[in-house]
Every structure is written in structure tokens, then in C-alpha cells.
Structure 1
């Protein structure tokens, strides 16, 4: 507190002591202090209240910003993890598709080979039947020619 507000009064008391032949005096000093009653004006109390509200609002806003930053950070982490997981699954899907494609190509080649073999087999059978039919036709033709010649 300022010196203007605080007033200090020093009072000196002199107390006589009984003496027999000489007189001796003792001086005692004591401090008396008075302070005026401290009372705030209405404007000061309003200012203090406004400051407290302003401070609380600022603290809440800062806390909200920090929470928002944390949420954004966590969302970025989750998005990054989801992206890497999606890439991983995409790679696995490509591998599985490639595997099935290879198996399908192998089976297609196998079926093609079997079909070609069956075709050649049937071609051979047809050729054999053709030759057999030609042989029979020639045999019958010779037989008929022989009969015609024999009857002449």
C-alpha cells in the first residue's frame, strides 16, 4: 500500500520513574498504525468480474482449439492408417486375382489340350472310317465288276 494511504503515528510516552536523589526519565516508543478501510468502487468490482469472465472465455477457447487440433491429428492418423490398409488389401486382392488368373489360364490350356487331343482322335477315327468305307466301296465295286464281267 502506498505511503499516502497508510498513516503511521508514533507516540512517545514518557514515564517518570521514582528516584531518590536524581531524576531519571525513560522514553518508550511504540508504533500505532491505522489503515483506512479498503472498499472497492462498483466500477472496480465490475472490471474485476469482466476480467475474470474474459479470462475464463479465453481459457475455454484455447481448450477448444487444442481439442480441435487433437481431433484433426487423430483424424489424419486414422485416414493414413485407412489408406495404408486399403493399399495393403488392394495388393492382396491383386495377388489373389493374379493367382486365380494363372490357375484359369492353366485350366484353359489343359482344356484346350484335351479338346485338341479329342479333335485329333476324332479326326483319326473319321479318317479310319473313311478309309474303311472306301475299302468296302472298292471291294463292293470290284465284286460288282467281277459279276458283270462274269455274266458277260
Structure 2
């Protein structure tokens, strides 16, 4: 049976905690990029997005994450794209998260969407209509600063939550 996923802005505390647990599992435990947490100052203004698997044993489960944030008017970044190992090979979760992130920001006035991508993931992003702008080292690992082709990501009509409506 093929899993069913939804890609949504995080709106509940339980989903947010699951989102943070998955990020920590990937970026701290699995990859060792951070010691105890991958949270940073951008999390305060970021919009967290979760990939939720429906029909999973025990109910719904967060199996992927990404965050988006506006660094300056019209300039948006995506980051902390994480997918549970069991859901990586099919590519559905990663593609869905990228699509949700870029189309959402585009609908909220994004004129340029960037991400700092681990070198191993550059081909995946290139297949999603992104291009590498430059190579960089980040946390002593090779990365690429990449840009999404916004023409490939029509703007979403999802309303942007007001600051007091954002989940934290």
C-alpha cells in the first residue's frame, strides 16, 4: 500500500514537537552537524512545514520537515529539510516539502527563494528546477547556495498567518 502524505504548515504544539524531534534526529543524531539541537535564531520567525503520513500505524506521523523564513522583503530561505530514512528513497516526501515551501513563500510575496544545500543533495534540487549559485563550507561540510526557479513554482493561495496566529 502506498503511503498518503500531506504537506502543511505546522499548526499544533504536538506537530511542532514532532517536527523538532525529527530535525534533531536527522541533524544532531544521524549527521552530527549539531550537538544537542539544530534550533537557531531563524526559528523564531520561520514558518515550520511538516510532511505528515496518514494511515501510519498508530495514526498520523510527521515524516519530513522544512522551514521557510523571510530574511528581507521578498527574499525567502528554506532550510532544515529533513526526511525520515524510511521515506527517502521514493523522493515523494522531499519533493512535496520543497514544493510546499517554495509555492507558499511565492504566494506570500517571495521574489527570490534560496537554500543552503548539502553537496550530496544538489542533484535532487537540480532535478526540482534549482540552480547552484556557489559552493560554501558550512559546519565544516560542503554545501551549495542554491536558488529555486520561481517560474516552476506557482504561488500558493494559502493565507499567511499573522504573527499572533503563528504557532510557537
The one of the two structures with greater contact order (alpha-carbon pairs below 8 A, sep at least 6) is: 2
TM over 0.5: no
Q: Which has a greater percent of helix?
A: 1
For the pair shown, the structure with the greater C-alpha radius of gyration is 1
- TM-score normalised per structure 2: 0.13
Structure with a larger share of its residues in strand: 2
TM-score (norm 1): 0.14
